[in-house]
Structure formats: structure tokens, C-alpha cells
Structure 1
Amino acid sequence: MNTILSIEKRNNVLLTMARLLEENRAEIININKQDLENYKGDDISMFDRLKVNDTKVDEMITAATHLASQDDPIGVERFSFKHDNGMQVYNKTASFGTVLIIYESRPDVTVEATGIAFKSGNKILLKGGKESISSNLKIIELWHKALQQNNASTDWIEYLQFNRIETQVFLEKPTQKVDLIVPRGGERLIAFVKEHATCPVIISGRGNNFVYVHKDADTDVALDIIINGKSKISACNAVDKVLIDENLPNRIDFVNQLMSKLKVLNIEVLKAKNFSSDEIWYEEFLDYKILIGKTASNKDAIAKINKYSGGHSSAVITKNDEVAKVFMESVDTAAVYHNASTRFTDGGQLGLGGELAISTDKLHQRGPIGLQHLVTNKWYVHGNGQIRS
């Protein structure tokens, strides 16, 4: 295991990376155009995530700069105890060691997730998808320059140019120690990693997020939140399902308004009554689709969400605070919203400055995994010859 770089050096690498991203902005965007032109798939969400423009580069720079401004997540005291025998006991945060990030399509992950893992004192192994290879290799080149300009080894950040078979072999019999794996991508990628990995995996699972419009909802608020929930169809925090309380006053008018707004955005509206199977309720669309159904009560909405959602995000639209309280405490998703959009389930939006992934697991961290979450812990015990009797 590498000796962890000082916090000053880690921060300087991040600030150097931010500067290099700005200096190489045009080249990054031009190289990304090659990846876009070479992409032959028909997955519109993957194509959307693949794209790097000025806004994306701005976000990369902001992520690196913000990470450099945050406190060191390593060595934070979580617990202390003075033993009767005089030993002083501490529990402190510690790095994992080596983190493998496997991801599809998104070159920005090569900056943001790498930055979080690096600032957390870890060696980073990156396995990106073939669709973004040119963009990723350019960004890795900049990471290595940032490390070299700060007299740090390029071994801290390594890109694995593996095909699927080579990746499977590495997962099953890694040629170097791997302490944690974070897959970021679709359900097939996650299932592949879970099947073959021999070390802990943080699951960033499917979205399939729900909005429940309660009978006491402000329908203007509901319209805005649902429409905003489809503003980026490739995002894991996008809305796929809308449940409308059958007791909502003017429910038919509300549904017609909603359908009109969705039609303008070219979003296909699926009606629950048209499907004999319930498989559609489990599906994460990542597409210009939304499913609308009705429900009898808050209790029924909670039960439906807990059965079908991906455990990511859910929202209730209501003016009744007690209904919202019951909903938020009972729905089993990583993030729950009252009168706000699920699109806020994002490390930057929730005050973390960025995220490694959004975990739908309950261990060891749920929801956006920020800098302060990508740590394990270690016990430090100081004595002067104590033995246990």
C-alpha cells in the first residue's frame, strides 16, 4: 500500500488538474467529438452521458477545485476512550487503499470520481467503456501531468484498457490488491461486477424514481416537479413513474395538463391500465418515457414505491405535512423529497461538492457518496506495556 500523500500535495494535484483542464479545454472537447462520432450504439442515454461540452468541462474544473478546498477526510477522530488501565483508544477514518471504478460512457467520471477517491488517500484504478476511450485517455494524461508536476507518482491513478473478458479475469483474480469496487452504469454492468468481484462492491443501482401526487397537492408545484424530473432522461435521478391520488380534485384536468406539457417535450406517456404485466413498473426507462398511474392513498403509494422502485429517490407532492412525514419515513429509498424534484439527488446539489456514485445499498453509505464517505476506519490504541488479565 502506498504511503498516503500529504493533504497539501493532494490538494495541489487537484488544483493543478483544474488548471490543466482549463488549458486543454478545446482539445478535450475535440477528442470527445471523435468518441461521439465513433459511437454506433442506439442507447440515447449513453450517448447523452458521453458528450463533453464547455459546461461539462466547467463542471469538471469546479469539482477538482472544490475538492481541493474541502477538509482532509483521512485521520478524522470518530471516537475516543480512556481505558481503566491507562490505554488511550481512538477510532479514526482511514483510506480503503485501492479503489477500482468501473464505468460507462461518462468522461466526467474520470475527473470527479477519481478526484474524490484520490483526495480520500486511495490509489485509483479506472476501467472506462470503449465508447469513451479517447476522452478518458486524454483526461488520464492530464491527471498524470498533475501528479508529475507535484512530484507524485503516476501510479496513484491507473487506467485499465481491458476488454470484457480481461475485466472479468481481473475481477475474479486481480493482479494487484483491490479493496473496493464501485461500478457506475446500467444494470447489466452492475450485475456483471457483482457476479465476478471478489472484494466489496458499492452498488449504484437503478433509478426508477417515483413522484406521488397526493390529494392535497398544489398541482402547479406537481407539474413543475414532474416536468423537471424528466429534464435529463439519462440521469439516474430522473422520474419514471407518477402516481396520482384518485381523490385529487380536478384530477382529470391535472392529468390532461401534465400530458400536454410532456407532449411538448416529446416524452411518451404510458398509462398503467394499458399493461397487463407489472414488469413495466420495475423498469428504469433512461428514455423519453414516463408511466402514469393512479393510487388510492398515501399508504398505497408507499407500498407501490417500496415494491417497484430501485431504492434511489422518491417524492411526495402535498400541502399536508403529516402525510409528507409518514411518506418520507416509510418509503425505502436513499433520498426522499417533499415538494421538491428528485433531480436534486446529486452530491453537488446536496452539499457534498461531488460524488463518487449514488449508492442504493445500505452499507456502508446510502445515497450520494461524497469525499467524507469514501473512507473506512481504523483503531489506534496507545499504551505503555498493558496486557489483558
Structure 2
Amino acid sequence: MTDIGSKKDQVLKALARIITAQEEAIIAANAKDLAAYKGGDESMFDRLKTGPEKVRGMAEACLQTAALPDPVGRELYRFDHPNGMRVVNQTVPFGKILIIYESRPDVTIEAAATAFKAGNRIWLKGGKEALNTNLLLAEFWQEALAAHDVGPGFVNYLQLDRGATQQLIRENPHRFDLIIPRGGERLINFVREHSQIPVIVSGRGNNFLYVSAAADYGMALSIIRNGKSRISVCNALDKVLIDRSWEGLEGKLQQLLGDLSAAGLEVVADEAGWAGAHPAVQPVPESVYYEEFLSHKIVLKVVGSMAEAIAMINKYSGGHSASIVSDDEQEARSFLEGADCAAVYHNASTRFTDGGQLGMGAEIAISTQKLHARGPVSTGQLVSNKWMVYGNGQVR
């Protein structure tokens, strides 16, 4: 692979300048995609729409990634062998990465920026919904690469239909080293079934929040509302579990139903264990607790203890994010240790599960698996490692 170590940050900064200068062109291309979209999915439309704020976010992601330390060549282990050999284990790029995603044009910038900073070559397969925006952003990538004499092959955009994409996954003609499917379970299952390539799964959200008996009402309400501030993202909040021992439970439950409904949410209260009557109170089938809503819907449920809440999170959630609202530090620590999610929060919103928000710059995905990476996947997670052994004729 061509050594691009000294040029990576220059390319990313150049790309940020191009994106900033071409804001109007990006928004115009995106307007074509929005006009062509005939689906009625509000969440999909939200992911697709690219306004000034998202354009500025793309440029900022490039600059943040450029400012990060180079993840390649970092020494992980050193051993001086008794026979005189010097043994070093260090980070190296994965090599070739394929990412398949839908509707979000900013992934074309952020995913490629993350892979490029880590020295990888990336193939981008975006959804047809964002074709005009993606093709323009891919052109900007090539402009930035060319400006610093970096080969065009580091960022490749694939314009393929579903059948051709499936053939690409099955046959792997480019000899990809890693696939990242960012889509529905059907895509993820197809990749797992038909490819022998290592996979990082950017899985579903379905995030939970537990309101402890030691919770402040105002804080709980603020965090819940923020968790639904965007419905199309994987770090959105879907389920709220409320401890039965919360002081003044019935009054707080009625107030919470009113406040969340007033915020424009479709509130469903599970009648099992609920205190008091309200039109939102109804039976909630177990299947609903497995669902990621990607809508304004939110489910509230009263539980008997933190242990019950943790058990529900570990059974039903997508393993993405979970939060506890509590003034009890020891209780919160037990929750953070017990909830089996990639990111766990005490008195904070699940909406912070994002590479940029956690100080990692751009992200390529949020992994809900435990190997090779977990949580936001940024430059530091898009490397492998290699053993380099230096000798002067040693034999065994």
C-alpha cells in the first residue's frame, strides 16, 4: 500500500474546505434526492435530508479526524528475546473495507474519513435514495485526494443495484478485509450468511432508560425528551423503565404522561404494574420490547427493582445504549456494570453515543458486537495489528 501517512491530514483538511465552499451545491443535489423520494418513512426522510447544519457537520468531522493522532504504527507490545531478537507488535491498517449503508449522505464523508485516516482503502455502497448527493460528495473526495497526489483508489464509490451488491458480497472480487453493513437486519443477515469476510455489525438501537427510585423528576424528564429529539438515529430512546418505589409514583407517572405527550410523543404505558388510569395505559405485547421504533413512539413501564430493569435491558435491547437516572452513586455504578450495552450512562442521554460526541472524531459505525470493536468505531478501531520481529540470523 502506498505510504500516505504524511498526507492524510492534508487531504482531510482539503476536503473540509471543499465541502464548506460547496455547501449550496451539496444542498441542491440533496434537494433532487428529496424530491425523488416517494416513501412515507419519516425516519428515512430525516436521515436523507442534508441541510446547512449537516454540511457543516461533515466539514467538522473531517477536521476533527485530521486532528486525531495517527492510529497506524502505534506500538502495542515490545519484547527483547534472550537470543537477541527484537519483537514488536504494532498497529497496521485493515486494508480494504466495504461499507453498505442507506439514505445518510454524511456517511459518505465520515466513513471514508475514518477509514482513510487509519490508512485503509474503502468502497462505499450508498443507498439509491441519496444517489445525487453521494456522487457529488464522492467527486469532492477525488478532488481532495488529487490535490495532494494521493491515488484515487483510497475512496471508491459503488453505484450498484441490490443484485449486483449481493454478488459483490458473495464473490468478493476486490478481496475485502472487512465489511460493515449499516442497514436493516435483512442486510446484516445476508452478509453474515454469504460472506467469509470479518464483519463489524452496526446494529439496531432500541435503547432503554431506567428511572431509579432515587431519580430527580426534572432530570429524568429532560433526559427522556432529549432521547427522542431525533427519531431516525440509532442512539434514540425507545423504552423507559420506572422503579415502583419512586416517591409519589402515581402523581409522577401521570405528570410524565402529560409532559411527554405535550412534547409530541406517542406515549404507550404498559398496564402491567402501572399506577393510575390514563388513555395511554394499555397491554404491551412482549414483542414490542424487542422493537426499535425509529418513530415518535415511546413505551413506559413500571418495574419492581433495578435488577428487573437490567434483566429487561439485557434481554430486549439491541445492546447499543442504556442509561440510569439516579442520585445514588453506588446504585448507578451497579447499573453501569450490569447493563450489557456498548455504552452505558449515568444521568445523561443515550444520544451521546456518537463518535464525535465521545471525542473520537468521525465514526464509520456503532458496533453492537464485542469483537473486533464495541461502540463507536473510529480511526483507532479501524486498525489491526502485526508482529514485527527483527533478528540477525537467529534460528530455532
TM-score normalised by length of structure 2: 0.95
Cα distance, 1:10 vs. partner? 1.2
1:383 aligns with 2:391: yes
Equivalent residues of 1:212, 1:242 under 8 A apart: yes
Who is 2:3 aligned against? 4
Spell out the pairing of 1:70-85 with structure 2 (5 A cutoff): 70-85=68-83
Pick one of 158, 168, 171 that aligns with 1:170: 168
Measured in 1, the distance between the counterparts of 2:214 and 2:221 equals 14
Residue type at the aligned position of 1:226:
I
Who is 1:16 aligned against? 14
Spell out the pairing of 1:289-308 with structure 2 (5 A cutoff): 289-308=297-316
Deviation larger for 245-254 or 28-37 = 245-254
Other structure's SS at 1:270 match:
strand
Residue type at the aligned position of 1:103:
Y
Who is 2:336 aligned against? 328
Equivalent residues of 2:205, 2:235 under 8 A apart: yes
Residue type at the aligned position of 2:2:
T
Cα distance, 1:370 vs. partner? 1.5
Deviation larger for 271-280 or 102-111 = 271-280
Measured in 2, the distance between the counterparts of 1:307 and 1:220 equals 28
Cα pair distance change 1:276/1:317, threshold 3 Å: closer
Who is 2:45 aligned against? 47
Residue type at the aligned position of 1:14:
L
Q: Which runs of 5+ in 1 are unaligned?
A: none
Cα distance, 1:149 vs. partner? 1.2
Q: Deviations over 1:340-388 (max 9, x none)?
A: 1111111111111121111000001110111111110000000000011
Who is 1:160 aligned against? 158
Spell out the pairing of 1:245-264 with structure 2 (5 A cutoff): 245-264=243-262
Equivalent residues of 1:171, 1:198 under 8 A apart: no
Residue type at the aligned position of 2:186:
R
Spell out the pairing of 1:200-279 with structure 2 (5 A cutoff): 200-273=198-271, 274-275=282-283, 277-279=285-287
Deviation larger for 332-341 or 39-48 = 39-48
Deviation larger for 179-188 or 30-39 = 179-188
Cα distance, 1:276 vs. partner? 5.6
Other structure's SS at 1:8 match:
coil
Equivalent residues of 2:320, 2:342 under 8 A apart: yes
Measured in 2, the distance between the counterparts of 1:280 and 1:3 equals 50
Q: Deviations over 1:228-276 (max 9, x none)?
A: 1000111111110000111111122222222222222321011223336
1:190 aligns with 2:188: yes
Give the % identical residues.
Answer: 51
Deviation larger for 177-186 or 209-218 = 177-186
Measured in 1, the distance between the counterparts of 2:352 and 2:382 equals 20
Pick one of 311, 324, 343 that aligns with 2:319: 311
| Aligned-residue CA RMSD (Å) | 1.1
Aligned length: 386
Residue type at the aligned position of 1:4:
D
Who is 1:357 aligned against? 365
Cα distance, 1:187 vs. partner? 2.7
